[in-house]
Amino acid sequence: MIPFSPPHIDQRHIDAVVEVLKSGWITTGLKTKSFEKKLALYAGNPNTLCVNSATAGLELMLHWFGVKAGDEVIVPTYTYCATANVVVHCGATPVFVDVDENFCISVEGIRNAITEKTKAIIPVDFAGFPCDYDAINALVHEPHFNHMFLPTSENQEKLDRILVLSDGAHSIGAHYKGKRTGNLTDATAFSFHAVKNLTTAEGGAIALNLPEPFKNEEVYQLLCIKSLHGQNKDALSKLKLGAWKYDIIEPGYKCNMTDITAALGLVELDRYETETLPRRKEIFKIYDSILKNYPWAQLPLYETAERTSSYHLYPLRVRGITEAKRDEMITKVSEHEVTVNVHFIPVPMMSYYKSRGYDIKNYPVTYDNYSREISLPVYYDLKDEQARLVAETVAKSY
């Protein structure tokens, strides 16, 4: 059977974890700090905080910005539920915006959705392809929207505009106009979940890239405390002789990363540019080379002059097909022992969001993308001949 995205674990990963297990320190410590520094160096942003998921990272940032009941946060319909759930956790209202035909949140849609209550936008780099950040960043700086923005927290006053918080769960290593994700908006959440490009089993990070007058190092220190119960001293600093006293300065969250998972992350980051990304790209090219011969196959956009994907997902679309026929195609593919997937069932189609009154009919491009989409397997250990078999099996099932 060809699975969808198993992790690649070799002796380097095993050795790194064993080293931490034997070291006498297994929770947040030097490995986590080292992983944070290397992530920031890689993406080119000033400071990065590791947490236990991208979801926790997004929620931490919304909380830091003071997003609360009565506020609105703009999110795309075409994403995993995490992007919207964190908004609900804050008591705020997710305002869904349709995507364009390349799965990116529509910039015109954002423009029409902004109100006096809008506090943040969470664009999603779907499949690893960065959104149009110049357009999104320009939008939040437009004088008209600046006047509309009503700050209700210290950090909102300081930023004095809508926060752009990227959901980069798919897009670590992707480029937009020569810069990597993490260095494109105010803050970016990366995911290191088991199915993502760079994995720590579970994990995530917040790449901070806040403008003046914010000091990213200070915000980083604050978020460390916020991710650990609001405790002003972490376990490692408390370990020092005589340093037992601590204080709780706010009722914080508990979402710190452990050194065991950070050790995995360090190995993964080390091989990311040399092994992970080149192999994923090769698999994309194999899929292109076979599927481009079929007029019904709509190939994904993942490289342009200004943007390159992190090759996270290969979202094939089938022209002129219905949702039911697409589902039948997937059943046929599965009968040949090939695992494919659909990314994503749009959030407004989920029971909870339907019960809150959201309706997929209001997001026609999202529904069209979803109903015709099949994600093909992409992972480091997928062999060339297996990738060819996947593409040919999908073609046969059509």
How far is the C-alpha of 375 from the C-alpha of 395, rounded, in Å?
Answer: 13
Cβ distance to ligand PLP smaller for residue 183 or 199 = 199
How far is the C-alpha of 258 from the C-alpha of 326, rounded, in Å?
Answer: 41
Q: Do 372 and 321 touch, CB atoms closer than 8 A?
A: yes
How far is the C-alpha of 363 from the C-alpha of 121, rounded, in Å?
Answer: 17
Cβ distance to ligand PLP smaller for residue 54 or 139 = 54
Cβ distance to ligand PLP smaller for residue 297 or 313 = 313
Q: SS3 breakdown of the chain: % helix, strand, coil, rounded to 5? A: 45, 15, 40
Structure tokens at 138: 């320009």
Min dist. Cβ of residue 161 to ligand PLP (A): 24
Min dist. Cβ of residue 194 to ligand PLP (A): 9
Active site residues: 196
Q: Which of 140, 148, 78 is nearest to 111 (CA)?
A: 140
Q: Do 219 and 64 touch, CB atoms closer than 8 A?
A: yes
Q: Residue numbers of the site for ligand PLP (CB under 6 A)?
A: 53-55, 79-80, 82-83, 124, 167, 169-170, 191, 193, 204
Min dist. Cβ of residue 201 to ligand PLP (A): 10
Cβ distance to ligand PLP smaller for residue 164 or 169 = 169
Cβ distance to ligand PLP smaller for residue 7 or 151 = 7
- Paired with 124 in beta bridges are 167
Preceding omega of 344 cis (within 30 degrees of 0): yes
With tokens 């009154």, the residue in question is 357
Structure tokens at 4: 């969808």
DSSP assignments along 217-228, one per residue: HHHHHHHHHHTB
Min dist. Cβ of residue 129 to ligand PLP (A): 12
- Paired with 206 in beta bridges are 49, 189
Q: Which of 22, 86, 75 is nearest to 51 (CA)?
A: 86
Min dist. Cβ of residue 196 to ligand PLP (A): 6
Min dist. Cβ of residue 356 to ligand PLP (A): 19
Cβ distance to ligand PLP smaller for residue 124 or 136 = 124
- Paired with 394 in beta bridges are none
